[in-house]
Structure 1
Amino acid sequence: MKSPKRLARIAGLLYLLVGIFGGFAEGFVYPKLYVAGNAAATAANVTANPGLARLGVVSDLLDQTFFVLLALTLYVLLKQVNKNVARAMVVFVLLAVAITCLNAVFEFEGLRVATGAVDTSSLGTSGTNALILVLLDVQHYGIFVAQIFFGLWLAPLGYLAYKSGWFPKPLGITLMVAAGVYLVDLFVAFLLPGLSTEIHGFLGIVPAIAEISMVLFLVIFGVRIPKPAKQDERALALA
């Protein structure tokens, strides 16, 4: 009875680390470096903050490492509910991790160009600035591509949470809804970029509620295991 709770709390701590490192990289570092469509400003930001850029890359890599460990821990915890669905959850996470780690390489290469580690003198200042912007642009939109799988992994997680009986059913439902919201946010960003800037913040509300609630439940409660019936207790005692 204690093992599932222990596994769930480990998963909760890993999920918390994913949020901390991912939030630092995407919520703090990237907005200070990347200015959409402005090569000179982006290059100046990266050149002036090389240490911050390096921290962003390392944070991303740590974030994705903990994300893989989180998926494996949840797989061990929830595979008894439905092994195929649990496997799908892990596959979605691995795809998201692969894309995000590749994105970090583009950001790091942008830093190398900005700091002169790569000789781009033949391009001139404007050409070098443009190259830095392109590299960070690829990283920026690569995050949106990874969001497909950041969203999709919540669907099997929500289903397993709902079916297991170990979590509040509204939490499982909210996780599955959040998966759909992530996908809507992604496609709006590519198809209707003007609208995306207006509604992106609102679309982030449901996923934030779902994932923060899941983290808190895992860390505080672990899982909610129903007490066995008295007959079951007697049978176990006799056995």
Structure 2
Amino acid sequence: MEASKLTQRQDARLAGLIYLILVLTGIFSLMYVPSQIVSNADPATTVVNIKNSEMLFKLGMMANVVCFSCFLILPLVLYRLLSPVNKTHAVLMVALSVVSVPISLVNLLNKWSVLTLLGDSPYLSALDTSQLQAQVMLYLDYYNNGTQLASIFWGLWLFPFGYLVYKSGFLPKFFGVFLMLGCFGYVIEAVGSFFYAGYHDLAIASIISIPSSIGEIGICLWLLIVGTTLRKKTLTIG
């Protein structure tokens, strides 16, 4: 029994560490780097920023790779931790998360294409400045579209994950609730952005991601710092 509890706690802390790496690399690559480089309203500025901050752009790509690799490993560790709760939901959790990884990695080729366009290959002289800027923005749009597709699965996996956390008895139930709500936040944002170009200007866009942020960052830190707590069982005599 003690060995089982130790293994459970080790799995929880390992999952927390991987989750933390995923969160930090995700924030860096998906939020910080684009905020420093990309200007959707000004292609010329975007191209200049990429050229002047090429190392930052490349670091963002490497952070993408680390983030997506963690997203492949994390559900497998969580499966070990949570499959005793409900194996069917644990398998669904893994399947819905892992399916996004090849989409995300292939999508990263669009960023690589941007670097190729801004390289020094002789054939690029056939493109004038405006054509080059348009091509760069096109590949960045392709990348954003791919990210939007992958984000559907970033949301869907949270529902079985949240359900398992809620039912586990050794992790806080409220994290499970926020994770399940976070599932709908991701999906609503992806679908809303697809069908309505002005979605991000709506009030709902600024609040729809709050449950997933609370749930994911919360469970990440809980797993890393606390691990698991065992539910006390009531002994009935007679």
TM-score for the superposition, normalised by structure 1: 0.90
Q: Return the alpha-carbon distance in structure 2 between the equivalents of residues 107 and 214 of structure 1.
A: 31
1:223 counterpart residue number: 228
Task: Output the amino acid matched with 2:226.
Answer: F
Deviates more, 1:117-126 or 1:174-183: 117-126
- Which residue of 130, 140, 143 corresponds with 2:144? 140
1:100 counterpart residue number: 104
The reply on whether 1:213 has 2:218 as its aligned counterpart is yes
2:59 counterpart residue number: 55
Q: Return the alpha-carbon distance in structure 1 between the equivalents of residues 36 and 144 of structure 2.
A: 13
**% identical equivalent positions:** 31
2:81 counterpart residue number: 77
Q: CA separation of 1:117/1:33 partners in 2, compared to 1, >3 Å: closer, same or farther? A: farther
Q: Return the alpha-carbon distance in structure 2 between the equivalents of residues 118 and 89 of structure 1.
A: 48
Task: Output the amino acid matched with 2:211.
Answer: V
Deviates more, 1:121-130 or 1:39-48: 39-48
The reply on whether 1:86 has 2:90 as its aligned counterpart is yes
Q: Return the alpha-carbon distance in structure 2 between the equivalents of residues 75 and 66 of structure 1.
A: 14
Task: Output the amino acid matched with 2:230.
Answer: I
The reply on whether 1:31 has 2:39 as its aligned counterpart is no
2:173 counterpart residue number: 169
- Report the RMSD for the aligned CA atoms in angstroms: 1.8
- Runs of 4+ in structure 1 deviating by more than 3 angstroms, as ranges, are 227-232
Task: Output the amino acid matched with 2:195.
Answer: L
Q: Deviations over 1:50-74 (max 9, x none)?
A: 1111101100001111121111100
Residue 42 of structure 1 deviates from its aligned partner by 2.1
SS of 1:193's partner is coil
The reply on whether 1:204 has 2:206 as its aligned counterpart is no
Q: Return the alpha-carbon distance in structure 1 between the equivalents of residues 47 and 200 of structure 2.
A: 25
Q: Return the alpha-carbon distance in structure 2 between the equivalents of residues 99 and 197 of structure 1.
A: 27
TM-score for the superposition, normalised by structure 2: 0.91
1:235 counterpart residue number: none
Q: Return the alpha-carbon distance in structure 2 between the equivalents of residues 172 and 140 of structure 1.
A: 29
Task: Output the amino acid matched with 1:119.
Answer: Y
- In structure 1, list runs of 5 or more residues that go unmatched: 233-239
Q: Return the alpha-carbon distance in structure 1 between the equivalents of residues 216 and 206 of structure 2.
A: 16
2:68 counterpart residue number: 64
